[in-house]
Structure 1
Amino acid sequence: MGSSEVNVLRYLCSRTQVDLDSLDLEAAQNGGPDGPWHDATSNPAEVFFQIHDPKNASIVEEAIAVSQKIHDVFPEVTISELKVEVATVLLAVRVIPFIKGAVHVMANPSYAFSTAKVVATGHRYHRLFRLVSPQIDVSRVVMKVAATFEGLQACRELSTHGIKTLATTVFTMEQAILAAEAGCTSISPFVHELKAGFDSTYKDSNPLVDLCVKAQQYYQQHGHTTRVKACSCMSIDEILQLSGVAAHTLPPEDLEKLAAMHESEAQLEARSLFKDEALATSTQQPRTYIEDEAKYRLEFAATDGGDGQFKLFQAISIFADFQTKAELKMSGVDIAA
């Protein structure tokens, strides 16, 4: 290693808030190069894999026992769904002492097109966190919501009750703009289609690295406090192109790769797409959708020839499938990981 080279993960952490894309206890305890990770994020796939892991058998047992005791308090959900939510809360509560910021839990993706059900889920998660861990500071809990029009309207209502939200499965600027108007704490633009992360034979022909840049520039130019939290990169090069994004949630395996790498700071800076001069010369006109559903739906559906809408629906379908598998697993059905 040359004397001018720096540790790549440490460099990335100096420019971007690096979050752990997992509720794995060991990964949270290990932390980053200079201390704890900031946030820890999850989704139905992550929860399914965690409850499928034999080392978390005690979490599963506790979630089942707690859910059976409290189901009459939450009659709006099935017992299988409640078991998954309680397991998610238990996993999140377990890692929160080892991070600096917030834990992220995702609303049931099957509710992606119901504002009322997403709102109810946000309130229920806060109640569950307080029930499982009475001393918890719920300002450290963020609920991830699929970025449909209905989901983002739910985020708008939840924000009035002090419930923090993240707009996930963001594939277009229309979603990014509406999420900011809805008061989301942050958004997660998916660099790649979700399917590419679960099917090694599937290739995303149109990765969206530039969407993270455009969304962050738009927020800075128009005074939005919503932050861009990138996710779903498929290569180390893409991760380093996004050095300078407000936040980036990365799985443990990518964090390990970055921690083992060294490169010159000049090379790393050259890779980044976040340049001050780009912000100064690329002005985006303000847009508003929060009170105009028809305009939003028309412009969202037309973006990239409909690719954004396709990717959103695909992601919701995949996450909903993992939600179903998690519910079956919590109900005692043997589901392969």
Structure 2
Amino acid sequence: MSPSPTTSLLAQIRGLLTIDVDSMDPAFAARYSTPLKFCDMTSNQALVHAQADLVSKDSEESGDFEQDVVDLLTVLLAKEVYPHLTGNVHAQTSPSAAHDTQKTVDHARKLVSRFGEQGIPKNRVCIKIPATPESLLACRELQNEGIQTLATCLFSLPQAVAASQAGCVYVAPYFNELRVHFEPGLWKEYADPKTEHPMSAVILSIVHTFREIGSKTLVMPARFVSSLFVIALTSLTPNHITIGGPILDALAALPALSLDSFAPPAAATAVFPHAIASDREVTRKLVDALDIFGKKEMETRELVGAFVCRRLADDK
């Protein structure tokens, strides 16, 4: 029987025997894995070198080797978690681009492309972008391109509304400012966080405002330092909540609570007037978060640079 005129030689041979992929370039594997997947991926030192050299040349052309490696590391780490998810993997644009719309757009596109090279499609990727005026414009542009965005470093209702208007899929209001994770002495304990913590009012106002205006943007609070804060946030009925590893362990070790523990505050609307912090305080928290993220990004880049220098020295 003659093959169909639309059948490729590759497809024909696949019908005769098992084909493996002899390449470490995921683009090839992804390109030819529909409708059938390869069985094995074979490798050797030459293939490893070829792929590493390709990454190196791409980095030389972009002029930022360390950032390219950091981006790739981000994607590879996310890829390890990806099999355990039903939704999205997230990656954050560089804080150095937070006040530059075009640089934020370019970095977001690059991250999505890197995920695609690792077999993670655009519709399973969400790019976290600091909620500055310039970056929220980037969110709108990216959303129009079909790239999902999350507004992060968010501390106020006006930021959240602006993110909703930009079409962000998520907003991630910080329950605690970022620095408490690095300077525990700044953390203040509250007997009843859902009524006493100042960000409870902000988050509750975001949740209620989004419902009132019919916003499709989902609320995903972040930055918790204890399981008690998670309980408080649950009572505020956000759409999502993102929880770090140690607190996940703590919650898993605790028994279930009565549903009364998750009852919303009695006078939800009463906290609305206090939900919008002064511009000065919101700006302080935002600038501080960008500064911390920027330092952590630079430390990672320095690790990459030191590793490369060691390898070059070893090769001499």
- TM-score bin, normalised by smaller chain: 0.7 to 0.9
Superposition deviation, residue 204 in structure 1: 5.7
> Does structure 1 residue 231 correspond to structure 2 residue 217?
no
1:261 paired with 2:249, answer no
1:235-254, aligned counterparts within 5 Å? Answer: 235-243=226-234, 244-254=237-247
1:19-48 deviation line (CA, Å, top 9, x unaligned): xxxxxxxxxxxxxxxxxxxxxxxxxxxxxx
Q: Note the alpha carbon deviations across 1:128-172, whole angstroms, 9 max, x for none.
A: 122233xx3210100000110001010011111000100001001
Three-state SS of the structure 2 residue aligned to 1:153 is helix
Distance 1:282 1:225, change over 3 A: farther
Deviation at residue 194 of structure 1 after TM alignment: 0.5
Q: 1:158 to 1:118 in 2, by over 3 A?
A: same
Equivalent-residue separation in structure 1 for 2:135 and 2:229 (angstroms)? 28
**Structure with higher strand content:** 1
Shift, 1:92, TM fit? 1.3
CA contact (8 A) 2:201 2:271 kept: no
* 8 Å contact from structure 1 (residues 102, 140) kept in 2: yes
Q: Aligned letter for 2:242?
A: T
Q: Is the 8 A contact 2:154 2:171 kept in 1?
A: yes
Distance 2:257 2:103 in 1: 49
**Residue equivalent to 2:92:** 106
Q: Of 300, 303, 307, which aligns to 1:329? A: 303
Partner residue in 2 for 1:117: 103
Q: CA separation of 1:66/1:87 partners in 2, compared to 1, >3 Å: closer, same or farther?
A: farther
Deviations 1:67-98 (A, max 9, x none): 314225x62x5111111001111111222111
Map 1:132-171 → 2, pairs under 5 A: 132-133=118-119, 136-171=120-155
What is the CA-CA distance between 1:264 and the residue it aligns to?
A: 3.5
Residue correspondence of structure 1 range 285-296 to structure 2 within 5 A: none
Percentage of pairs with the same residue: 27
Equivalent residue of 2:306, what SS? coil
User: Quick one: which amino acid aligns to residue 249 of structure 1?
Assistant: T
Contact 1:63-1:90 within 8 A present in 2 as well = no
Q: Are the equivalent residues in 2 in contact too, given 1:107–1:145 (CA < 8 A)?
A: yes
* Offset of residue 239 of structure 1: 0.9
* Matched AA of 1:123: R
How far did residue 119 of structure 1 move?
0.5
Residue 215 in structure 1 maps to residue 206 in structure 2: yes
CA distance in 1, matches of 2:185, 2:246: 20
May I ask how many residue pairs the two structures share in their alignment?
A: 249
302-311 or 249-258, which deviates more: 302-311
Distance 1:214 1:63 in 2: 50
Rounded Cα–Cα distance in structure 1 between residues aligned with 2:281 and 2:300: 29
| 1:311 aligned partner, one-letter code | K
Call closer, same or farther: CA 1:269–1:202 in 2, change over 3 Å.
Answer: closer
TM-score (norm 1): 0.68
User: Per the alignment, do residues 66 and 318 of structure 1 end up closer, same or farther by CA in structure 2, a change over 3 Å counting?
Assistant: farther
Whether 2:281 is the aligned partner of 1:307: answer yes
1:236 and 1:207, CA in 2 relative to 1: closer, same or farther beyond 3 A?
farther
Q: Structure 1: how far apart are the matches of 2:55 and 2:300?
A: 15
Q: Is the 8 A contact 2:143 2:167 kept in 1?
A: yes
- The residue identity in structure 2 corresponding to 1:160 is N
Q: Which has the larger radius of gyration?
A: 2
List alignment gaps of at least 5 residues for structure 2.
1-48, 190-196, 309-316
Query: How big is the alpha-carbon RMSD for the aligned residues of Structure 1 and Structure 2?
Result: 2.7
